[in-house]
Amino acid sequence: MRALFSYGLALCLLLLAGGWLATGTLVQGGQGPGNGEKPIVSVIEGEDHGPIATRLADAGVLAHPHEPDVDPALTIAQRVEQTTGASAPKQSVRVQKFTAEPMPIEVPLRGRTQAKATISAVAETAGTVDVVHVAKGQRVEVGDPLCTLDQGTRAAAVTQAEAGLQQANAALAQAELNASTNVDLRDRGLAAANTANAVEVALAQARAGVSQAQAGLDNARAELDRTEIVAKVAGLVQDPVAVQGSMLSAGSPCATIVQLNPMVFTSMVPEAHIGLAHTGLDATIKTVTGQTIDGKVTYISSVADAATRAFPAEIEIPNDDYAIRDGVTAEAVVNIGTAPGHLLPQSVLTLDDDGMLGVRTVEEGKVAFHAVTIVNDTRAGVWVTGLPAVADVITVGQENVTAGQEVDASPATVTSAEATAS
């Protein structure tokens, strides 16, 4: 009996608590000031003015949503103006005038250094290597000897060709003398007229003999010169290098020369920038080893890479001291021209309510917001586009004002860093 009484009492208390809660107000957050508040009984009935809610309201026990005295969406300045009827004091800001100037447009590229050419100095005739004049890593200039082949009988062939030329010259001299004598005899009537043809034929044959002998001598000398293999380009000697005593056939390499001056920087130009790229543009290359060199764009491919849709490009850079090596990772910055822009300190950049990056300025006493695009980030500041040609940029207080707000603007004190940027 006592248990039944306890359960009954608990049920009565639960009903009373439920009834009391039903007369309260449910607040749903995240819907803005003054929104999201409604009676709990309306939530239970599924409508704002149900029969139970109406009876409770008539009985005076239904709670009503709180109505704030001041609109919570108003700013502090607007609340002061609404309650006092007087305008709030203007927000003070500092401004600095920035004028558009030519802005360098630069395209960064990543790539690596590459030797301009790798050339094999080959033998043009067969022979045994008599002397090797160079070693791996040695620097050579045009005309420096690389290998000397055994001359063999080539020197004797030159001597024989010289003797043959002398003999042909003697035969030519005799033929010219015979032709001159024949002309004199025919003029005096002591020789028949038909002898002139035979003399002219002998003279022509003698001249041809001299030409043939001269060609033989030239060939013999050229064959002898081929035993000296010299560098046709300047560079560094690399493998393979011939060994003294080895036999080289025509076309076998004596040494390999890597042409390092000028050096070539190879990279890929994205298709988004290919319309602005052309040969002759200035570029600055910086290697991972800390070297910085200026160069020029010398080649841009007309065919894009099938995988990356980028276009191969080459930049030639001087390498007089051979300090830059082949295959070093590097970055290049290509200057493709100029465009109007503003050089601003990074501190003036801000975001609007929509998260748009921009700059706040003062125009006719009111704040204006201009979305900007960062083109380049330098130590002196950031180059941006999107501002008027002349703009009074807010440098102090830009985070405390909004677009359209009237402000009290005064010139900013220019620091040394800002003076550099301006």
CA 67-72-74 angle, to 5 degrees, is 135
Is residue 67 situated within a structural domain? Answer: yes
- 98 & 61 share domain: no
Range 236-247 average pLDDT: 90
Q: Which of 176, 194, 226 is the last residue of a domain?
A: 226
| 422 pLDDT more than 50 | no
Say whether 145 sits in a helix, a strand or coil.
strand
Q: Give the pLDDT of residue 416.
A: 39
- 85 & 158 share domain: no
Q: Which residue has the tokens 């409508």?
A: 47
Count of CB atoms situated within 10 Å of the CB of 34: 13
181-196 pLDDT per residue, tens? 888 777 777 777 777 8
Range 155-168 average pLDDT: 90
Partners of residue 11 on adjacent β-strands: none
At 161, which helix (H) or strand (E)? helix 154-188
Is residue 291 situated within a structural domain? Answer: no
Measure the CA–CA gap between 389 and 391, rounded to whole angstroms: 7
Q: Is residue 226 within 8 Å of residue 147, measured between CB atoms?
A: no
DSSP designation for 389: S
| 86 pLDDT more than 80 | no
Is residue 113 situated within a structural domain? Answer: no
- 3 & 82 share domain: yes
**Percentage, residues of the chain above pLDDT 90:** 38
At 272, which helix (H) or strand (E)? none
Measure the CA–CA gap between 393 and 34, rounded to whole angstroms: 37
Domain that holds residue 40: 1-89
Measure the CA–CA gap between 344 and 418, rounded to whole angstroms: 8
* Residue 165, both tokens: 């030329």
Is residue 7 situated within a structural domain? Answer: yes
Say whether 197 sits in a helix, a strand or coil.
helix
* Confidence label for 28 from pLDDT (cuts 50, 70 and 90): low
Q: Which of 89, 119, 139 is the last residue of a domain?
A: 89
Q: Give the pLDDT of residue 87.
A: 57
* Confidence label for 421 from pLDDT (cuts 50, 70 and 90): very low
Strands (E), 239-372: 247-248, 253-269, 282-287, 292-300, 311-317, 329-344, 349-351, 357-363, 366-371
- 211 & 166 share domain: yes
- Give Dmax (Cα) for the chain: 180
| 17 pLDDT more than 60 | no
Range 315-333 average pLDDT: 92
- 80 & 95 share domain: no
Distance of CA 311 to the CA centre of its chain: 11
90-127 pLDDT per residue, tens? 888 899 999 999 888 888 899 999 999 999 999 999 99
Q: Kindly report the CATH number assigned to the domain that includes residue 208.
A: 1.10.287
| 231 pLDDT more than 80 | yes
At 331, which helix (H) or strand (E)? strand 329-344
Q: At a CB cut-off of 8 Å and minimum separation 6, what does 300 contact?
A: 269, 274, 277, 278, 279, 311, 312, 313, 314
Q: Is residue 250 within 8 Å of residue 177, measured between CB atoms?
A: no
121-146 pLDDT per residue, tens? 999 999 999 999 999 989 999 999 99
Question: How many residues are listed for the chain in this entry?
Answer: 422
Q: Is residue 24 within 8 Å of residue 17, measured between CB atoms?
A: no
Q: Give the pLDDT of residue 240.
A: 87
Range 266-270 average pLDDT: 91
- 74 & 95 share domain: no
Average pLDDT, the chain: 82
| 336 pLDDT more than 90 | no
Q: Kindly report the CATH number assigned to the domain that includes residue 413.
A: 2.40.420.20
Total structural domains within the chain:
3
Is residue 329 situated within a structural domain? Answer: no
* Residue 247, both tokens: 């036999």
* Residue 256, both tokens: 């390999």
Is residue 157 situated within a structural domain? Answer: yes
Tell me how far CA of residue 338 lies from CA of 91, 224, 296, 299, 390, in angstroms.
38, 60, 17, 22, 18
Range 30-37 average pLDDT: 55
Q: Give the pLDDT of residue 3.
A: 65
DSSP designation for 25: E
Q: Give the pLDDT of residue 286.
A: 94
Q: What is the pTM of this model?
A: 0.56
